[in-house]
């Protein structure tokens, strides 16, 4: 094993998860320097190895770009957890790990003989990150969790899209990703607590909890004000003008979040900031359609880039709507370390979306993050090296 440094250097993460929520949580820990050992079903591996198109690479060894998105900085070992050898090796791995990440349906680990109680008998210091679809208990705790189903059940689709007649999912599996993020930060909290107690604990989250947990003002609109939110497309339900506006054949996004900003914005567009229909934010929200029509009429007189320059010059937040390729070609994206290069065992040198966290170095030290990133592993690529490491530890069976 190559020591890569980072805040979690020395922490070993056992990744029993598949698909996206659990693998994303484990990848986040790997980005921070933890050693992540991914256990996969022999012959087939993680489900996402077969998710595509797109696939890249040779026809006899196609690689799913979906798998590549959530498995960097990991090693892969194949284990049949229902076999005697699989049970022995999993027991050894549990004893040697600091964290276990799993997103089986509730009850699966118990049936395999690795209940939470058993895991902590094997390793009292183990932190278990358990991610489910709708929670591990409650009247629907046993339901399978898939992102789009959870987006609908957790209300997110009801506030996304152009209208209530067209509920729309988010363009990425946001429920899975949020569950992974919440699982990772819960895990870090439990690792910190372990420094004081000497004991690990179980951290639980779910797709349902993670989506409800980010309802933000849409949630309090109902819980406090008794309003049921509905989608209004690319505009903010409580602030105006705040959204995307047609600028000829292109779009300009503007965020006017205060009365002072409104006065500046109205002036640069040649509108009357004291017009009684628009003088206060509440007025602008009530008369959104009329205000949007006026704004788009003015924006049609110039190009998108011209208006972005003029609006930006007066300090009003604004921007374009970039396609994914434009985002990764953008100098600002690359300046933030959001693209990382790795050497893939099949594909050779490739670029991946990078981790969203950076660490400043202490005076006289190098960067505090992982020094280099590892490519997503081939299936079973580390079978021998992981077993050899366990042998060296003498973890027994």
Look at residue 88 in the predicted model and tell me its pLDDT: 96
Strand order in the sheet with 318-319: 242-247, 250-255, 318-319
Whether domain 12-214+332-393 has CATH 3.40.350.10: no
Mean pLDDT across 170-189? 97
In whole angstroms, give the CA distance from residue 232 to residue 219. Answer: 16
- Beta strands 99-102 and 12-15: pairing type? parallel
Look at residue 362 in the predicted model and tell me its pLDDT: 60
pLDDT at 287 over 50: yes
Could you tell me how far CA 29 lies from the centroid of its own chain? 12
In whole angstroms, give the CA distance from residue 345 to residue 340. Answer: 16
All structural domains of the chain with their residue ranges: 12-214+332-393, 242-319
pLDDT at 364 over 70: no
In whole angstroms, give the CA distance from residue 328 to residue 334. Answer: 7
Could you tell me how far CA 110 lies from the centroid of its own chain? 28
* Max intra-chain CA distance, the chain: 78
Residue 190 structure tokens:
């439990």
pLDDT at 1 over 50: no
pLDDT at 396 over 70: no
Q: Is 176 among the catalytic positions?
A: yes
Mean pLDDT across 363-385? 80
Residue 340 structure tokens:
């990382």
In whole angstroms, give the CA distance from residue 248 to residue 296. Answer: 8
Look at residue 106 in the predicted model and tell me its pLDDT: 87
Residue tagged active-site, from 85, 98, 176, 305: 176
Mean pLDDT across 356-371? 68
- In sequence order, what E strands does the chain have? 12-15, 35-40, 55-56, 63-64, 75-78, 99-102, 127-132, 202-206, 242-247, 250-255, 318-319, 339-344, 348-353
In whole angstroms, give the CA distance from residue 295 to residue 247. Answer: 9
Count Cβ atoms below 10 Å from residue 142 Cβ, excluding itself: 15
pLDDT digits (tens, 9 = 90+) for 213-253: 999 999 999 999 999 999 989 999 999 999 999 998 999 99
In whole angstroms, give the CA distance from residue 283 to residue 240. Answer: 9
pLDDT at 303 over 70: yes
What CATH homologous superfamily does 242-319 map to? Answer: formyl-coa transferase, domain 3 (3.30.1540.10)
Q: What's the number of CA atoms in the CB half-sphere (13 Å) around residue 285?
A: 11
Q: What's the pTM value of the predicted model, to 2 decimals?
A: 0.92
Is there a shared CATH topology between the 12-214+332-393 domain and the 242-319 domain? no
How is residue 207 annotated by DSSP?
Answer: H
pLDDT digits (tens, 9 = 90+) for 121-146: 999 999 999 999 999 999 999 888 89
């Amino acid at each position: 094993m190559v020591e890569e440094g980072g805040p979690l250097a020395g922490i070993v993460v056992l990744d029993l998860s598949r698909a996206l929520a659990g693998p994303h949580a484990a990848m986040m820990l790997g980005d921070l320097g933890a050693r992540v050992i991914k256990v996969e079903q022999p012959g087939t591996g993680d489900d996402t190895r077969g998710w595509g198109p797109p696939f890249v690479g040779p026809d006899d060894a196609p690689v799913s770009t979906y798998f590549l998105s959530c498995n960097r900085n990991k090693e892969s070992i194949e284990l049949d957890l229902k076999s005697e050898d699989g049970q022995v090796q999993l027991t050894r791995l549990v004893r040697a790990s600091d964290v276990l990440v799993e997103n089986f349906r509730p009850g699966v680990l118990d049936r395999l003989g690795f209940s939470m109680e058993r895991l902590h008998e094997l390793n009292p210091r183990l932190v278990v990150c358990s991610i489910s679809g709708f929670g591990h208990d409650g009247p629907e705790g046993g339901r399978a969790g898939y992102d789009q189903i959870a987006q609908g059940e957790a209300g997110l689709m009801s506030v996304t899209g152009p209208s209530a007649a067209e509920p729309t999912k988010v363009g990425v599996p946001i429920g899975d990703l949020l569950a992974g993020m919440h699982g990772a930060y819960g895990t870090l909290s439990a690792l910190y607590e372990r420094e004081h107690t000497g004991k690990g604990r179980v951290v639980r989250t779910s797709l349902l909890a993670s989506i409800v947990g980010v309802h933000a003002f849409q949630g309090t609109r109902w819980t406090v004000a008794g309003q049921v939110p509905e989608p209004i497309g690319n505009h903010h339900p409580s602030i105006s003008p705040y959204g995307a506006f047609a600028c000829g054949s292109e779009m300009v996004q503007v965020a006017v979040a205060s009365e002072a900003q409104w006065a500046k914005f109205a002036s640069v567009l040649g509108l009357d900031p004291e017009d009684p229909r628009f003088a206060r934010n509440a007025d602008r929200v009530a008369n959104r359609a009329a205000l949007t029509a006026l704004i788009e009429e003015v924006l049609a007189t110039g190009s998108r880039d011209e208006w972005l320059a003029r609006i930006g010059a007066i300090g009003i937040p604004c921007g374009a709507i970039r396609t994914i390729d434009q985002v990764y070609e953008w100098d600002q994206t690359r300046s933030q370390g959001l693209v990382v290069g790795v050497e893939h065992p099949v594909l050779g040198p490739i670029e991946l979306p990078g981790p969203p966290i950076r660490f400043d170095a202490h005076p006289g030290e190098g960067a505090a993050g992982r020094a280099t990133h590892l490519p997503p592993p081939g299936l079973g690529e580390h079978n021998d090296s992981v077993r050899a490491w366990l042998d060296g530890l003498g973890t027994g069976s």
